[in-house]
Structure 1
Amino acid sequence: MATKVITGIPVSSGIAIGKAFFMNRRLYGFIPRQSIAADIVSDEVARLEESIARAAAELSEVRESLPPELRDHALLIDSHITILRDPKLAKSARFYIEDMRINAEWALLKAVKDMEQAFSAIKDDYIRDRIQDVRLMADRVLSKLMGLSTGLKAIEGRVILLAHDLAPSDTAGLEVDKIMAFTTAEGGKTSHTGILARSLQIPAIVGVVGLEDNVQDGQFIIIDALKGRILVEPNEDELARYTDLQNRFESYQKNIHRNCHQPGETIDGYRVKVMANIELFEEVAAVLDHGGEGIGLYRTEYSYMNRKTLPSEDELYEEYRDLAAIMDGRKVVYRTLDLGSDKYMSQYGQTQERNPALGLRSIRFCLRHKEMFKTQLRAILRASVEGNCAMMYPMISGLRELREANKVLFEVKQELKRDGLPHASDIPVGIMVELPSAVMTAELLAREVDFFSIGTNDLIQYSLGIDRTNKDVSYLYQPLHPAVLRSIKLVVDAAHQGGIEVSLCGEVASDPFCIPILLGMQIDSISMNPQAIPGIKRIIRQTTMDECKELLRRILECRTVTRINRLVMDSIFQRFPEELTFYSSLLDVDDFV
């Protein structure tokens, strides 16, 4: 067996076999910790501020020199420059220098620790993961303070790049054809390393515990980014097995990408729109490359993060307009702000809530802060003149919230008309159906909106009463639970009876085991991460509606999730053995029994 096997979070699928190359290791274990004399405190503060300024200037230079294949990540570098220029981190470090009379390196470390504690209280994974950006920038400043280089050594041959963490600015000088895979000690599913790896279409694993202690430069390793495993110095049997798996996976990927721009249409002609979920503008390239027919969910929260002030209407307008323009007639659905006490902005402070998931969030937050809401609505309406656009409200619980939101939208349209600004006065307006109350009143809501989008991640959580991030109850997170399937079917039927389209987003949309069931319900469109689109399209094109309807009928007769899971496994594996070979490797058998 391999000398060691360590695990992490797979964020870009694939297999890589080769030598390890460490770009950097975390500096925190080597930081000098010294007390300083009172008469050099001001010099130490100056040294800190100079290092921060140099780090920001260096990033600005990197941004301007990005190679074409990384140019889409300029906005990510901008967010890192914003962190460096934000006075909070510098002010906190300066306080420690002056109050405790300690050196700048130690003071910066303490300031980062303070921010880590603040971020740890945030329940949302995406926002909590942004502390990685702060650490990255702190490492860059520490390198300046300690006189270390942040550049890359020349890489000879192809390697697997290992690092404590990576940012687009760190990889700007890379010859990307020499990088087989990324692996980092830090990061989560939403980290920039994952976005970068997916855009370059190379395997990546992040959040690897013990990476820096267990892997050395030049060691031969296998990156299994299907299961999130790293094999250090594998034996011959493991090498042969993974070489075969790598060849089969790459062959499969080439096959599905060859036809990814064909429509998602069953053998007997039922057409399903296959769209993408994105949160960053730079992900658009992946949508188009992978055959996305549009953007079914554009998460607008990112524009409000990592900044001291709210974005202006013109800033948002330019962002939304550029997105509509680059999609060139393909549909773009803007979800209005899904913010709350666990995704807060400094302008409104952090509300302490005992249960943020059930508190002041999403549409409730926007209706509480109507001027902020109006600014976003104005930007969406103005930008929608440029393309095929729609908008939807998140977490609508019933008619009252929907009507209140539409009242604000009507006021905004009147204001834009009065101001003489071009805008899409007839933009389609929909809602996210993700609460049981919305499910049970779907036929009423369908009369007052243009479309539904079923948000399965929250719908499952709220329907089954579980937090899937809680390891003690995560086993209860069952997408094929009878209650979940019946809820989805109820919403689809209500939408069609009301004469409107219904989409579905969330992890269920990219789950091959669920696709035939959704087709059987006659869903109109599905929306997923861009990388999942080619495989899902291929499954759609290889089935018939008669098959899907029969499977749905049998499933709806089942009384337990155990029986449904077994029926789905047996049916789908028999029908799509090749398509599910690699997906099934991501699953534990116990998940489906």
Structure 2
Amino acid sequence: MATLKGIPVSAGISIGRAFFLNRSGAGPLPRQTLPEALVGPEMVRLDRAIEQFAQEIEQARERIPADLREHALIIDSHLMILKDPKLSGVAKRYIQTLGINAEWALDKAVADLEKAFEALDDQYFRDRIQDVRTVSGRVQARLAGQTAEIRAIESRVVLMAHDVSPADTASLETDKIMALVTVQGGKTSHTGILARTLGIPAVVGVTELEREVRDGDLVVVDGLRGVVVLSPAEEELARLSDLKYQFEAYQAGIMRGCHLPGETIDGYRLKVKANIEMLEEVPTVVNNGGEGIGLYRTEYSYMNRAKLPTEEELYQEYLDLATIMSPRRVTLRTLDAGADKFVSTLGSLDERNPALGLRAIRLCMHHRDIFMTQLRAMLRASVAGNISVMFPMISGLREIRQAKAMLAEARAQLRQEGHRFNADLPVGIMMELPSAVMIAEILAREVDFFSIGTNDLIQYSLGIDRTNRYVSHMYQPLHPAVVRSIKHVVDAAHQAGIEVSLCGEMASDPFCVPILMGMQIDCISLTPQAIPGIKRIIRQATMDDCKNLLKLVLESPSVTRTNALVQETIFRQFPDELMFYSSLLDREESPAH
């Protein structure tokens, strides 16, 4: 028996026989220098390999089964990567300037992109390098003369692969796949999205997979802990089988109640919405009982593109989202990009401290033409009647008024051009900077709602980079300063008569949600997969208990004491939830635990 470690991306446990879809082909890439006469033909060779793969995935897009149709959007993103000059253009430049073969040049271009992505602050965007590697790997295969043929699956199997591309989805017999395990991939990779759509366990980033596992091996995929157990001993197999049935019973229980409202035993109603990046996630939101989209991250539409999206493209995307979700409300966050969220068409900025630099609303005000295009698209889509707009990283009154002035200008333009839009479009702001928290009472008079972004609020309040391994343990959601800041924002919003929601990771943390409920927050927005479990916690709680817990937390002088107090209370009140709940979160374990 052996255990391989990876990253859990879809919860559950599955026991079956291994079946390899593909392997890396593991040999080293050929590295050759070319005579000048062969440089031109080598660039043509690279173009042909790219075009061959592009044709294959475009054809695959048309063959995707109806129940997986939303994955066509990921294929679109891979086509964007193929056409992005930061990949193909740089590779061809290396062929031309260094006189090297296409395989080597493409590898160097990917390495350049990896360096850029490693500097990003946002985990979602850092994980996009996995998509670049997948695309590059498939082009490398075409350069080596390999075909895209998929082996037939004859019985139910645990599917293993170096990676699973969106194009593979079209050819897979998904009803025969019990679980997914890959060498490549991160928490937000396509493999995880596919597995969650199919409702099967998945573990990615298992680096030793190809060396340790053979076709036909008996394996247990533990998507709760992120491990793959090879040839388990009888006692371990019995234990994992029992855990599998317990989890399936728990999952069935929370799914049965996921479409019920988030309402406590004594009648307090808390709206539970979802955070998403792409249209393809909408079915997951609806299936998991999401009551709307509390945060739509519009940055994805700007990623991996040779050109900026047009107003018409954005309008259609936002209108489709609103129409599909109707009558549930959709909150569109304007472009939250910058040096920490790479938008290739804007180029990289030379900033010594990008976290405090030209990003989010500041970047939009700097590139007013880009911002105006997005605002016009949002306004036009608002005819659906269920769209709200919010501005990120607001530090004070001036930025709100500047953004609202541009929104008014966009309204005037559209009115003059004869376009329809919702004149009463609700406008809100992200409360994620300490400066905004301190003047929450002033800002509340300017907007229709607040949305508290706790991920950045905690980082900026505590001066902690949660991606820095030396200090990430100090990233504490229940630090007294953080709890008091959130309560101050909630109180200020309610005094002004506006709604306040919270869309950071605290919204999907069972140790934090009862405290937020004690503050009488109006709405939480979280990863779609976490909604059923959080709703069940809400429905088993009482407001008296939540208010009493909040009182104790506010009286606690230290984060250590707060964490101990909260853990004791939550474990006592929700023992069943905490046995499995953390495995359902599409993120690292919260430092509050």
Shift of 1:28: 5.8
Unmatched 5+ residue regions in structure 1?
A: none
Q: Which amino acid aligns with 1:555?
A: V
Q: Structure 1 residues 67, 584: closer, same or farther in 2, change over 3 A? A: closer
Partner of 1:415: 413
2:278 partner amino acid: L
Q: Which residue of 2 aligns with 1:238?
A: 236
Q: 1:151 aligns with which of 149, 155, 158?
A: 149
SS of residue in 2 equivalent to 1:382: helix
Contact persistence 1:562–1:592 (CA under 8 A):
no
Q: Which of 356, 359, 374 is the matching residue for 1:358?
A: 356
Shift in CA distance, 581/499, structure 1 to aligned 2, threshold 3 Å: same
With 83-92 and 225-234 compared, the bigger mean Cα shift is at 83-92
- 555-564 or 423-432: bigger deviation: 555-564
Whole-Å separation in 2 of the counterparts to 1:163 and 1:544: 47
Structure 1: distance between partners of 2:447 and 2:590:
40
What is the aligned counterpart of 2:107 among 106, 109, 112?
109
Residue type of the alignment partner of 1:530: P
Residue matched to 1:437: 435
Aligned to 1:554: 552
State which of 536, 539, 552 in structure 1 corresponds to 2:537.
Answer: 539
Please say if residues 122 and 340 of structure 2, whose CA atoms lie closer than 8 Å, have aligned partners that are also in contact: yes
Specify the code of the residue in structure 2 equivalent to 1:164.
Answer: H
2:523 is matched with 525
Separation in 1, partners of 2:379, 2:21: 45
**Which moves more between the two structures, 216-225 or 114-123?**
114-123
Q: Is the 8 A contact 1:301 1:338 kept in 2?
A: yes
Structural RMSD (CA): 2.0
Does structure 2 conserve the Cα–Cα contact (< 8 Å) formed by 1:463 and 1:484? yes
Q: Aligned equivalents of 2:379 and 2:155: distance in 1?
A: 51
Aligned length: 591
Counterpart for residue 55 of structure 1: 53
Could you say which residue in structure 2 is the equivalent of 1:328?
326
Residue of structure 1 equivalent to 2:76 = 78
2:8 counterpart of 1:16: no
Contact 1:325 / 1:387 at 8 angstroms: preserved in 2?
Answer: no
Q: What is residue 194 of structure 1 aligned with on the other side?
A: 192
What is the aligned partner in structure 2 of residue 343 from structure 1? 341
More displaced, 275-284 or 218-227? 218-227
Could you tell me how far 1:519 is from its partner in structure 2? 1.1
Which residue of structure 2 lines up, in the alignment, with residue 182 of structure 1? 180
Please report how far the alpha carbon of residue 279 of structure 1 lies from its aligned counterpart in structure 2 after TM superposition.
0.4
Query: Aligned equivalents of 1:534 and 1:31: distance in 2?
Result: 46
User: Residue 120 of structure 2 aligns with which residue?
Assistant: 122
Q: Write out per-residue CA displacement over residues 436-468 of structure 1, whole angstroms, 9 at most, x where no aligned residue.
A: 111111111111110111111111111111011
Equivalent pair of 2:303/2:344 in contact (CA under 8 Å): no
> Is the CA contact 2:86–2:113 (under 8 Å) kept in the aligned structure 1?
no
CA-CA distance at 1:572 after TM superposition:
1.2
Deviations 1:387-409 (A, max 9, x none): 31111011111111111111111
The residue type equivalent to 1:313 in the other structure is E
Pick which of 329-338 and 122-131 moved more.
122-131
Task: Give the equivalent residue in structure 2 for 1:131.
Answer: 129
Which among 306, 312, 324 is matched to residue 310 of structure 2?
A: 312
Asked whether the 8 Å contact 1:23–1:163 carries over to 2, the reply is yes
Residue equivalent to 2:162: 164
2:214 aligns with: 216
The question of whether the paired residues in 2 share the 8 Å contact of 1:227 and 1:586 is answered with no
1:450-500: per-residue Cα shift (whole Å, max 9, x none)? 011111111111111101111111111111111111111111111111101
Quick check: 115-124 or 50-59, which moved more? 115-124
Q: Deviations over 1:366-412 (max 9, x none)?
A: 11111111111111111011131111011111111111111111111
Deviation at 1:92, TM superposition (A): 3.2
Asked if the contact 2:265–2:541 (Cα under 8 Å) also holds between the matched residues in 1, the reply is yes
**Deviation at residue 41 of structure 1 after TM alignment:** 4.0
Report the Cα offset of residue 127 of structure 1.
2.4
- Deviation of residue 86 (structure 1)? 3.3
2:502 to 493, 497, 504: 504
**Which residue matches 1:29?**
27
Aligned pair partner of 1:372 in 364, 370, 389: 370
Question: Take 2:93 and 2:362, find their aligned partners in 1: how far apart are those partners?
Answer: 38
1:7 aligns with 2:5: yes
Counterpart for residue 275 of structure 1: 273
Residues of 2 paired with 1:590 and 1:143: CA distance?
A: 39
SS of equivalent to 2:455: helix
Q: 1:583 to 1:367 in 2, by over 3 A?
A: same
Letter in 2 for 1:521: M
- Tell me which stretches of 4 or more aligned residues in structure 1 moved more than 6 Å: 585-590
Task: State the distance in 2 between where 1:156 and 1:45 align.
Answer: 41
Q: Deviations over 1:275-327 (max 9, x none)?
A: 00000000000011111110000000000111111111111000000111001
The alpha-carbon distance between structure 1 residues 87 and 339, as it changes in their structure 2 partners (threshold 3 A), is closer
Q: 1:247-288: per-residue Cα shift (whole Å, max 9, x none)?
A: 111111111111211111111111111100000000000011
Paired residue for 2:285? 287
Contact 1:23 1:162 in 2 (8 A): yes
- Aligned-residue offset at 1:30: 4.2
Cα distance in structure 2, aligned partners of 1:589 and 1:563: 19
Q: Secondary structure of 2:428's partner?
A: strand
One-letter amino acid of the structure 1 residue matched with residue 144 of structure 2: M
TM-aligned CA distance change 1:100 to 1:344, over 3 Å? closer
- Tell me the distance in 1 between the aligned counterparts of 2:274 and 2:583: 23
Moved more, 359-368 or 226-235: 226-235
Pairwise CA distance, 1:38 = 4.7
SS at match of 2:166: coil
Counterpart secondary structure, 1:517: helix
In 2, Cα distance between equivalents of 1:589 and 1:41:
50
Instruction: State the TM-score, normalizing by the size of structure 1.
Output: 0.95
Question: Given the superposition, is the C-alpha separation of residues 497 and 352 from structure 1 closer, same or farther in structure 2, using an over 3 Å criterion?
Answer: same
TM-score of the aligned structures, taking structure 2 as reference length: 0.95
- Which whole-Å deviations, capped at 9, do the CAs of 1:95-119 have from their partners, x for residues lacking one? 4444444443333333333333333
**1:155–1:112: structure 2 CA closer, same or farther, 3 Å change rule?**
same
Q: Measure, in 2, the Cα distance between the counterparts of 1:144 and 1:591.
A: 44
**CA–CA separation in structure 1 for the residues paired with 2:99 and 2:372:** 48
| Per-residue deviation, residues 160-191 of structure 1 (Å, max 9, x unmatched) | 22222222212221111211222222222222
Q: Assess if the C-alpha contact under 8 Å between 2:70 and 2:280 holds in 1.
A: yes
Residue 265 of structure 1 aligns to a residue in which SS? Answer: coil
Q: Name the amino acid aligned to 2:254.
A: I
Asked whether the equivalents of residues 455 and 506 of structure 1 are also in contact (C-alpha less than 8 Å), the reply is yes
Would the alpha carbon gap of residues 122 and 562 (structure 1) be closer, same or farther in structure 2, given more than 3 Å must change? closer
CA distance in 2, matches of 1:585, 1:216: 27
Taking structure 1 as reference, are residues 38 and 369 closer, same or farther at Cα in structure 2, changes over 3 Å only?
closer
The sequence identity of aligned pairs, in percent, is: 62
**How big is the shift at 1:93?**
3.1
Aligned AA (1:457)? N
Deviations for 1:112-167, whole angstroms, at most 9, x for unmatched residues? 33333333333432223222222212221222222222232111222222222222
CA contact (8 A) 1:112 1:135 kept: yes
Amino acid at match of 1:203: P
Instruction: Tell whether the 8 Å contact from 1:56 to 1:85 is kept in structure 2 after alignment.
Output: no
2:437 maps to a residue whose letter is: V
